[in-house]
Structure 1
Amino acid sequence: MAKTPSKQSAKPPKKAGDKKKRSKKRVESYSSYIYKVMKQVHPDTGISKKGMSIMNSFIKDIFERIATEAGKLSTYNKKATLSSREIQTAVRLMLPGELAKHAVSE
């Protein structure tokens, strides 16, 4: 009976200097969405890297404010779940006049 060759792993042996490659930590950004909306509203307009950074910070700040306010509203009403009603009320409270009306209508 013929002897079958022993199975060896396809991986080369590890060297002392080899280290696992770390994956980059993902950075939360709204840049792609800001760009898409900007192109819908003003197709011929561009935005600089610094301008995009400012818009991204602005969106993060507004999101944080609305989420905090909605959380307070749900706490006042003794509810554990944030519903669209709390978000809508928070938007009305946080955004001024016409902007709030437009945001709620969307």
Structure 2
Amino acid sequence: KSYSVYVYKVLKQVHLDISMLSKAMGITNSFVNHIFERTAGEASCLVHYNKHSTITSREIQTTVCLLLPGELAKHAVSEGTKAVTKYTSSNPALFFLGKSLWKATNQLQ
């Protein structure tokens, strides 16, 4: 999966006058994929350890705090929470469906 478009958009939000070489973009993309893979793997381990069957935002937040150092973890959790809030507020049907599935899953445990 490529995140180059998103990396470029964030770069332009931070520094309008800076560009990125394609090799640097490739390295950045590999880094993002690696972090996502590690996050998914660690979250899966947490779910298994806690004898649950669903990865929730709690496992993702815990994993981010385990994988990323200090302020970077706090910032990542904050931005992730903001993104999920924005997404669920613009897609209320998905929010309620997700909430119903979460309740049903937790009632089974």
Taking structure 1 as the reference length, the TM-score comes to: 0.72
Structure 1 residue 62 corresponds to structure 2 residue 35? yes
Stretches of 4+ moved more than 6 A in 1? none
Displacement of 1:92: 0.2
Structure (1/2) with the larger helix percentage: 2
Matches within 5 A, 1:1-106: 28-106=1-79
1:55 is displaced (CA, Å) by 0.2
Q: Could you list the per-position Cα deviations for residues 58-105 of structure 1 after superposition, in whole angstroms to 9, with x for gaps in the alignment?
A: 001111111111000011111111100000000000001111111112
**Structure 2 unmatched ranges of 5 or more:** 80-109
Deviation at 1:30, TM superposition (A): 0.7
Percent of aligned positions with the same letter in both sequences?
63
Aligned residues: 79
TM-score, normalised to structure 2, is 0.70
Separation in structure 1 between the aligned mates of residue 9 and residue 18 of structure 2, nearest angstrom? 11
Q: Kindly name which structure, 1 or 2, has the bigger radius of gyration based on alpha carbons.
A: 1
Gaps (5+ residues) in structure 1? 1-27
Aligned CA RMSD, in angstroms, stands at 0.7
